[in-house]
Amino acid sequence: MTATSEEVWALLRELAQAQKQAQQEAERRAQEAERRAQESARKAQETEHKTQETDRQLKELGKLTKELGKQIGGLGEKFGSFTEGLALPSMERLLRERFGMEVVSPSVRVTKGGRHLEIDVLAYANGPVNAAYVVEVKSHLREEGITQLRDLLQRFREFLPEHRDKRLYGILAAVDLTPALRERVLREGFYVARIQDQVFTLDVPEGFQPRGY
């Protein structure tokens, strides 16, 4: 059957309309794709900015943490020095009256062959007593303080051979320590000294036998 001219024109109009709609849809999708691309670029830029800001804040935090650590360390050193100064008069009296020490020297530092030995308080006596005491002073005693004192006693005669014939003992003097740590110190054979009313006194059970080095 042959199509009439009106039918042909109607078909052409439908094709033109469909083509127009397809073109409009393509343009809409292109615009939507561009909008999404712009949105993605904006978010990526925001993310990069946030990342840079986070990095800056982390660096700033790192600087503040480092500075705070220095300040805390400084306070610890100052408090440690204060504790040692506070302990010295009563510790000196204790060493002289209780153990018969003739010489009491605070802050003894010895260097040999590039190696160092530091003792908070060293006391000794010659003659019949013939003994030496190494005192470590701690504001807050921790486990490593016990190890530190043991190490000092083991290296003592190497750095101070003039006292090699003396009996050698250790004293841990602390402002604050737990009952468990006190027991550890006593089991190690060290004297425990505690501060009460700004005075250090021995805190050992009756019959305590110290370990000699």
Cα separations in angstroms, 212 against 105, 161, 170:
20, 16, 8
What's the mean pLDDT in 65-93? 57
Please, which pLDDT band fits residue 49 given cuts at 50, 70 and 90? confident
Q: Supply the mean pLDDT for the chain.
A: 81
For residue range 102-147, list pLDDT tens digits in order. Answer: 999 988 999 988 899 999 899 999 999 999 999 998 888 889 999 9
**How far is C-alpha 132 from the chain's CA centre?**
34
Q: Please state the rounded mean pLDDT for residues 198-203.
A: 83
pTM across the whole model? 0.61
Query: In whole angstroms, what is the distance from residue 194 CA to residue 73 CA?
Result: 24
Q: Which tokens sit at 162? A: 């003039």
Range from 41-55, 58-72, 98-112 that averages highest in pLDDT = 98-112
Phi and psi dihedrals of 131, rounded to 5? Answer: -145, 160
- The domain segmentation of the chain, as residue ranges, is 86-202
Orientation angle between helical segments 143-159 and 179-188, nearest 10 degrees: 30
Is residue 122 within 8 Å of 108, Cβ to Cβ? yes
Residue 99 in this model has a pLDDT that exceeds 90: yes
**φ and ψ at residue 191, rounded to 5 degrees:** -70, 145
Q: Specify the higher pLDDT residue, 39 or 75.
A: 39
| pLDDT tens, position by position, 144-183 | 999 999 999 999 999 999 999 999 999 999 888 899 999 9
Could you say which architecture CATH assigns to the domain 86-202? Answer: 3-Layer(aba) Sandwich (3.40)
Q: Which residues contact 125 (CB under 8 A, 6 or more apart)?
A: 99, 100, 101, 102, 103, 131, 132
| 3 or 165, higher pLDDT | 165
Of 6-15, 27-36, 155-164, the range with the lowest mean pLDDT is: 6-15
